[in-house]
Amino acid sequence: MKIKTLVLNPSQSQRRYLQLYDSICADILQGRMKKGDQLPSIRSAAKQLNVSRTTIENAYQRLLMEGLIVALPQRGYFVDAEEAQSELRCDIMNTGIEKQPDEEWIDLRSSSIDAEAFDTNVWLHYIKLVLQNHTWLTSYGDSQGEYLLRKTLQKYSYAMRGVLCKEDQIVIGANFQSLLYLICSLYQGKKVIGMEKSGFIQAEQVFHDCGFTIIYLEFDEEGIDISELSKHDLGMLYINSASSGIKKRALHSKRRKELLTYIQEHDVILLEDDHNGELRYQTKLRPAMQGFDRSDHIIYMRSFSKLLLPSIRMSFMVLNESMHQIYKRKKQNYHPSASKLEQLALAHYLMDGHMEKQIRQLRKRYEANSSLMMELLETHFSSFTYLLDETSLQILLYPRRSHDVTAYIEAAKDQRILVQRYGKEALALSFASLSATTLKEALLLLAEVWKVVE
Amino acid sequence: MKIKTLVLNPSQSQRRYLQLYDSICADILQGRMKKGDQLPSIRSAAKQLNVSRTTIENAYQRLLMEGLIVALPQRGYFVDAEEAQSELRCDIMNTGIEKQPDEEWIDLRSSSIDAEAFDTNVWLHYIKLVLQNHTWLTSYGDSQGEYLLRKTLQKYSYAMRGVLCKEDQIVIGANFQSLLYLICSLYQGKKVIGMEKSGFIQAEQVFHDCGFTIIYLEFDEEGIDISELSKHDLGMLYINSASSGIKKRALHSKRRKELLTYIQEHDVILLEDDHNGELRYQTKLRPAMQGFDRSDHIIYMRSFSKLLLPSIRMSFMVLNESMHQIYKRKKQNYHPSASKLEQLALAHYLMDGHMEKQIRQLRKRYEANSSLMMELLETHFSSFTYLLDETSLQILLYPRRSHDVTAYIEAAKDQRILVQRYGKEALALSFASLSATTLKEALLLLAEVWKVVE
């Protein structure tokens, strides 16, 4: 058999073996050569094309590497590409890399923030600072998180949230899930965890993967009640201390005290999710429970998604002392997950006091935005009841009559507005993702289209 | 009781409630006020200091928040700081954030690379590019990984490693562990995994956490043998296809074919760890096995730690089609873990062809460094045998006589040289972390001190 279609062009800048490779490749992918067809031997191809054997060898080597041909001992080279694969190969080689079109949607879901809410120039300054000291970045870094950031977070958490810990108790991870996997990995007690049935499915997935039984606890208006807890035999308890229960409130003092007594008496590890705990603008700021725990039963957890950019994947936790001791022994079993570049940038950002400034600005912004949204809801959305979920930066809407909210979500979509479901019977509208002007525009549009749904 | 030490200074720029807070705080932490001591009521303190009640309230509020005082109903405010906690509080407030000293160690461990091996200016360019388009960063991003990066990795993996996949089969994570947790979470088969007892403890930890039984397989010189596999009833198999077995080689063709037949016939999922598969400089480049798998049983896994900066936390995998279908249904259960900033920077870096250039340079560098190290070993280290672990960028040293290598590690430490243990009976010397000059210097120093050990 001959290589029919090939004309080697010595004036072409591309190296000859690549020209040959491209040509055979095209023959195979476009069906001119089929599975099982034999290629000429290296010797005869070299003769036929008047090139060195090395050129042919290099071309065949590449085809072999890509699995387009096989070499059978004592027999020679054969095409080995199946049709389905040929299509995929063509597709990979020929489609350009296009950005998915940025469609013009108004996004009221909680997964993004208004671009104006964070000064990316300040952030860029710290990213540059770290990159300029580039020897910092030539090693993996501490799997526990960078020392500088842990030290900074220790001070920040004390000043802003009353958290009391040594910097060695802090572990930094890329996200909540990586921290939760770590907790499950270290934990040696009863694999039964109680949590609110609020739909934190990513946390539930981790507990499920690690063989935990999940018990959904009944929360009342004020959060978790001790009488509910004592019905179960828990090993761990997951609480969003900044917003829980029917009213989405921070746990008040009496409940906190009861809870602290309960975890001590029943030897339960409490995972305290202090979700945006410092982001209060309508209600009173309450410190984290961790600072009040005298019996070493609380693991404090935080992310910064809504305070900085959501795209910065960074969370941390403060291990209680007994888990910390286990962690110290097993530390080498875990890889670092958070970007070292972003960790060091955040450390310097915190050290220079930008976070406090950022939080002050966010409080103002979210106070204004939530008030605006509430006003609009009161005026134009009489068929819903509302609830401010302060630290989640959203308002929950419960339709007074209809109970499935799918129709509302679909009607919004028709207007190119994205709205999030909250459980089965409610919607969550985020006021963090848009400027005041766009927020108003979106809500007036929704008021219009949702009239038809009712 | 009075607040004795306080003098409010109206000319001071600090707000008055903070002055009051600081003063009481210091009294408590320095032992002038003790646990149980009562503070004056808000009314009387306001009178005593001639300030508004709000000032007192704000100061008390902050002390309450930090758990330094408690409010008892109908009784008033009392100091509630225990001595042990006071020490910790003092420590948090008063110690500065100092960088841990960069000590002058020569690091021959595998956890870092030579700062010269990667052009951080090019990287900075792409980081800036992404930060300038800052609306990209105001949302969480796709938990599967950014579309642009997945599309780029699809092309890169095909061109460089012969990997065949749709971009939708690719999942990006911060590190190998996060990808392995995800695989365990999606996997529905027999929870028995076979792997080489090579000490990849971070992978073993994940399988252990997710309830897998780990079977250590016997590897021979060429890697895994099928007769060894058929002794066990495996659900999954973990193979480093770029370097395995006693000789640390890429699996050769015959073994690969047997393995492909085995996983198909026994319905075993093969996790192919293509560790630095393209980083060949002494032996022949072999493509990944994934491209040859016609029965949908291979999950291909990669990280970029040694090709880019180790501090960039980025790994990806190509799910086989059946796992991909499960993933599509459960995708919302998982959070993104890799930094979106670094993902987009890497996408543009790859699109502009920098990776190929970087790999060409690394091959040259590592060919030179490994040859240099081999030469030095042959001349000066006659009491060891050596083995090049090419893709791991290290040479394994086995002492001919002594069997515990601790003494060598300690002797190196005395010279401020860090050397890594490899199993119980070997040392691993990385040639990636140092320039040729330092490498030579370090090895001559080691040759000297290890003579005494022997």
Sign of CA dihedral B304, B264, B291, A77: positive
Report, as an integer, the average pLDDT of B91-110: 75
**Residue that the structure tokens 């940038």 belong to:** A345
For the cut 80, the answer to whether the pLDDT of residue B97 exceeds it is: no
> In sequence order, which ranges of A266-337 are alpha helices (DSSP H)?
321-330
pLDDT tens for each residue of B205-245: 999 999 999 999 998 888 898 899 999 999 999 999 988 88
Which residues, in sequence order, are bridge partners of residue A420? A428
Report, as an integer, the average pLDDT of A163-192: 96
Sign of CA dihedral A170, A174, A177, A178: negative
The band of A140, judged by pLDDT with boundaries at 50, 70 and 90, is confident
Collapsing DSSP to helix, strand or coil, B39 comes out as: coil
For the cut 90, the answer to whether the pLDDT of residue A286 exceeds it is: no
Nearest-CB residue to B155 (from A66, A92, A176): A92
The CA distance from A222 to A247, in Å, is 7
CB contact under 8 A, A334 and B92: no
**Residue that the structure tokens 């990849």 belong to:** B200
- Strand pairing class (B219-220; B106-107): unpaired
The band of B361, judged by pLDDT with boundaries at 50, 70 and 90, is very high
For the cut 80, the answer to whether the pLDDT of residue A13 exceeds it is: no
- Cβ atoms of A222 and A255 within 8 Å: the answer is yes
Three-class secondary structure assignment of A160-189: HHCCCCCHHHEEEECCHHHHHHHHHHHCCC
Neighbour count for residue B290 (Cβ, 10 Å): 24
Tokens of B1: 């009781």
For the cut 90, the answer to whether the pLDDT of residue A367 exceeds it is: yes
pLDDT tens for each residue of B299-310: 999 998 888 888
Going by C-beta distance under 8 Å and a sequence separation of 6 or more, which residues neighbour residue A241?
A: A250, A251, A256, A272, A273, A274, A277, A288, A289
CB contact under 8 A, B341 and A136: no
Report, as an integer, the average pLDDT of B34-42: 89
**Predicted pLDDT at A19:** 85
CB contact under 8 A, A155 and B92: yes
The CA distance from A325 to B185, in Å, is 28
The CA distance from B286 to B243, in Å, is 11
Nearest-CB residue to B339 (from A100, A184, A312): A312
Q: How many residues does chain A have?
A: 454
- Name which of B198, B127, B195 is nearest B391 in CA terms: B198
Task: Please report how many Cα atoms fall inside a 13 Å half-sphere around the Cα of residue A91, on the Cβ side.
Answer: 12
Collapsing DSSP to helix, strand or coil, A240 comes out as: strand
For chain B, give the mean pLDDT.
Answer: 89
Query: Which residues in chain B touch residue A128, judged by CB atoms under 8 angstroms apart?
Result: 124, 128
Nearest-CB residue to A341 (from B152, B294, B311): B311
Separation of CA B61 from chain center:
41
The band of A331, judged by pLDDT with boundaries at 50, 70 and 90, is very high
For the cut 60, the answer to whether the pLDDT of residue B2 exceeds it is: no
Neighbour count for residue A156 (Cβ, 10 Å): 18
- Cβ atoms of A210 and A181 within 8 Å: the answer is yes
Nearest-CB residue to A139 (from B85, B112, B211): B112
Taking each helix axis from N to C end, the angle separating B53-65 and B16-29, rounded to the nearest 10 degrees, works out to 40
The band of B7, judged by pLDDT with boundaries at 50, 70 and 90, is low
Residue A123: closest C-alpha in chain B: B131
Tokens of A278: 């410092």
CB contact under 8 A, A335 and B202: yes
- CA A337-A343-A347 angle, to 5 degrees, is 150
Report, as an integer, the average pLDDT of B106-118: 83
The CA distance from B218 to B369, in Å, is 31
CB contact under 8 A, A336 and B175: yes
Tokens of A107: 């996004």
Taking each helix axis from N to C end, the angle separating B42-49 and B53-65, rounded to the nearest 10 degrees, works out to 120
Neighbour count for residue A328 (Cβ, 10 Å): 11
Going by C-beta distance under 8 Å and a sequence separation of 6 or more, which residues neighbour residue A8?
A: A16, A19, A20, A49, A51
- Cβ atoms of B107 and B101 within 8 Å: the answer is no
**Predicted pLDDT at A287:** 87
Distances (CA, A) of B402 to B337, B405, B408: 44, 7, 10
Which residues, in sequence order, are bridge partners of residue A301? A273, A317
Q: In the A/B pair of chains, how many CB contacts fall below 8 A?
A: 256
Distance from CA of B111 to the nearest CA of A (A): 6
Residue B330: closest C-alpha in chain A: A205
Report, as an integer, the average pLDDT of B86-93: 81
CB contact under 8 A, B97 and A335: no
**Predicted pLDDT at A193:** 98
**Predicted pLDDT at A64:** 83
Helix (H) or strand (E) holding A224, with range, is: strand A223-224
The CA distance from B88 to B80, in Å, is 14
The CA distance from A390 to B72, in Å, is 28
End-to-end Cα spacing for chain A: 73
The band of A399, judged by pLDDT with boundaries at 50, 70 and 90, is very high
The band of B151, judged by pLDDT with boundaries at 50, 70 and 90, is very high
Query: Which residues in chain A touch residue B433, judged by CB atoms under 8 angstroms apart?
Result: 138
- Cβ atoms of A116 and A358 within 8 Å: the answer is no
Distance from CA of A345 to the nearest CA of B (A): 13
State ipTM.
Answer: 0.87
Report, as an integer, the average pLDDT of A372-394: 93
Burial code (b: 16+ CB inside 10 Å, e: under 16) for B334-372 equals bbbbbbbbbbbbbbbbbbeebbeebbeebbebbeebbeb
CB contact under 8 A, A313 and B164: no
Phi/psi for B79 (5° steps) reads -65, 135
**Predicted pLDDT at B29:** 77
For the cut 60, the answer to whether the pLDDT of residue A433 exceeds it is: yes
CB contact under 8 A, A310 and B140: yes
CB contact under 8 A, A148 and B176: no
Sign of CA dihedral B103, B107, B109, B111: positive
For the cut 90, the answer to whether the pLDDT of residue A443 exceeds it is: yes
For the cut 70, the answer to whether the pLDDT of residue A100 exceeds it is: no
